[in-house]
Structure 1
Amino acid sequence: MNGRNIRVLREERGMTLNQLATLSGVSKSYISYIERGMQKNPSIAVLEKLSIALGIEFMKLIESVNEVSKK
């Protein structure tokens, strides 16, 4: 998994890490690890929380993250 797309989605929405953490209930440091590729396999529960906070369907988030990973 590649977390760069989560960062892109967050930035496109004008959200800070703190805002995403607050909206999703996922810690700021964990989101940062995901975005920087230090956490390569976040749980489905975490990805679902992030998708809700980012306002994107879960499957679209997964597909977009997987697409970035293939590049």
Structure 2
Amino acid sequence: MNGGNIRMIREEKGMTLNELAALSGVSKSYISYIERGMQKNPSISVLEKISTALGIEFIELIESLNKK
């Protein structure tokens, strides 16, 4: 899983880590762990919250996480 792609999508949308955390209801530290590859297996519910907050389809997020 390439969590750095979440960071890339977030930054493309001009969103800070704090904003994504507030919009998704997922803690800033947990999102940071995902983005930095420290958390390799986030739950589907967490990924759904992140995709909704980013304004992208869940499948789009999953596909981005599988890209190198």
Which TM-score tier does this pair reach, normalised by the shorter chain? over 0.9
C-alpha separation in 2, matches of 1:15 and 1:64: 17
TM-score calculated relative to the size of structure 1: 0.93
The answer to whether the 8 A contact 2:25-2:49 is kept is: yes
Amino acid in the other structure paired with 1:63: E
C-alpha separation in 1, matches of 2:16 and 2:64: 20
Q: Shift of residue 2 of structure 1? A: 1.4
* Identity %, equivalent residues: 79
1:50 counterpart = 2:50: yes
C-alpha separation in 2, matches of 1:25 and 1:38: 19
> 1:38 maps to which residue?
38
Amino acid in the other structure paired with 2:47: L
**What runs of 5+ residues in structure 1 fail to find an aligned partner?**
none
C-alpha separation in 2, matches of 1:5 and 1:67: 8
> 2:10 maps to which residue?
10
Q: Deviations over 1:17-71 (max 9, x none)?
A: 1000000000000000000000000000000000000011000110111023xxx
How many residue pairs end up in the alignment?
68
C-alpha separation in 1, matches of 2:64 and 2:28: 21
TM-score calculated relative to the size of structure 2: 0.97
C-alpha separation in 1, matches of 2:64 and 2:37: 15
